């Protein structure tokens, strides 16, 4: 965890500078390490250790001894934060509050706080900068519109041969903490560590970026992303709800590598995405676009290119969403 200044966007620089000069606000910037990463063994279970009984991830926690009336998380921040305020006499509040970019909070109303602890909230799988504006006087004020696009998850997936029965795994969450989050167990890989919880931060996925980890590709390669139990299409009525286990698909095309310089082909898609007509094989027909994801959603990547070199090759995936 390290601190480092990041300039405010031009639209906020003047107002923030005027208020900071007047002593109304104080700006603090933090960088929080990514909580999900790429690993060829751990794959989708490659997430950092997060104790479930700590609502602020301990490795990211920072104590800020600055008093004030409220705080705002700048809308261009790349992560939500968990905040635990301290009263004017230094006693910590009983609860941790999750704050998303663009939100402003006055925890004690007209009373001041003496400081606060801040870090990534338990269950968050992204990372990056957070800029907190501390409102130090009753006259301090900021006006923001929420709805920042941030990276919510990273993972590595192996491409499966199209001649085998697809093996699905969890990996397309929209709520954090994610109830199906599991961390890799190096001692006993078949029994990963549960690291899930009840979702506090809700996201609306916007786009997905993919990098094929091959530096030799003689022709364009088609890979199918198969998804089952997406949140909107495959969740039935009742409590607990029933999942349909229907399968939808998204075609992913990686362009061939041209020239001798080594590089990794990339691809991706934004929402809404176009579905294909494959109802005869039990795969979904959803057009012009669908949001294929969900906390119960499972997926896999299937090689449809005819190039056996893709079987077992890895794809790195980064998912973005509005929070």
Write out the chain's pLDDT in tens, 323 residues.
544 444 445 445 445 544 554 578 899 999 999 999 999 999 999 999 999 999 999 999 999 999 999 999 999 999 999 999 998 777 778 799 999 999 999 998 888 999 999 999 999 999 999 999 999 988 787 778 767 889 999 999 999 999 889 999 999 999 999 999 999 999 999 999 999 999 999 998 888 899 999 999 999 999 999 999 988 788 888 888 888 888 888 888 899 999 888 899 988 777 554 444 333 333 333 333 346 889 999 999 999 998 999 999 999 999 999 98
Query: Measured over all CA atoms, what is the biggest interatomic distance in the chain, rounded to whole angstroms?
Result: 68
In angstroms, the CA 266 to CA 272 distance is: 19
Q: Residue 91 CB: number of other CB atoms within 10 A?
A: 10
| CA–CA separation, 268 and 68 (whole Å) | 44
Q: Are strands 182-183 and 104-105 parallel, antiparallel or unpaired?
A: unpaired
Q: How far is 93 from 81, CA to CA, in rounded Å?
A: 16
φ, ψ at 185 (rounded to 5°) = -110, 105
Residue 181, judged by CB atoms within 10 A of its CB (0-12, 13-18, 19+), counts as buried
């Amino acid at each position: 965890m390290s601190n480092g200044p990041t300039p405010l966007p031009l639209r906020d620089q003047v107002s923030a500078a005027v208020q900071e000069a007047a002593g109304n606000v104080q700006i603090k910037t933090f960088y929080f390490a990514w909580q999900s990463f790429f690993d060829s063994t751990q794959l989708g279970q490659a997430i950092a250790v997060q104790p479930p009984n700590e609502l602020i991830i301990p490795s990211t926690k920072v104590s800020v001894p600055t008093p004030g009336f409220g705080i705002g998380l700048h809308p261009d921040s790349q992560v939500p934060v968990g905040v635990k305020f301290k009263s004017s006499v230094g006693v910590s509040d009983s609860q941790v509050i999750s704050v998303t970019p663009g939100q402003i909070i006055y925890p004690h109303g007209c009373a001041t706080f003496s400081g606060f602890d801040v870090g990534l909230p338990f269950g968050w799988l992204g990372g990056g900068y957070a800029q907190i504006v501390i409102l130090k006087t009753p006259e301090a004020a900021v006006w923001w519109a929420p709805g920042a696009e941030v990276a919510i998850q990273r993972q590595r997936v192996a491409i499966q041969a199209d001649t085998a029965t697809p093996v699905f795994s969890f990996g397309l969450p929209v709520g954090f903490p994610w109830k199906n989050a599991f961390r890799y167990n190096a001692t006993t890989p078949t029994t990963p560590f549960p690291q899930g919880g009840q979702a506090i931060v809700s996201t609306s996925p916007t786009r997905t970026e993919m990098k094929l980890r091959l530096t030799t590709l003689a022709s364009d390669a088609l890979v199918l992303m198969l998804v089952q139990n997406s949140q909107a299409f495959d969740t039935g009525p009742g409590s607990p709800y029933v999942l349909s286990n229907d399968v939808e698909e998204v075609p992913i095309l990686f362009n061939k590598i041209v020239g001798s310089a080594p590089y990794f082909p990339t691809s991706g898609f934004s929402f809404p995405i176009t579905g294909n007509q494959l109802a005869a094989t039990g795969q979904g027909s959803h057009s012009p676009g669908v949001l294929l994801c969900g906390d119960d959603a499972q997926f896999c990547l299937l090689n449809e290119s005819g190039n056996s070199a893709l079987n077992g090759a890895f794809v790195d995936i980064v998912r973005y969403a509005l929070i």
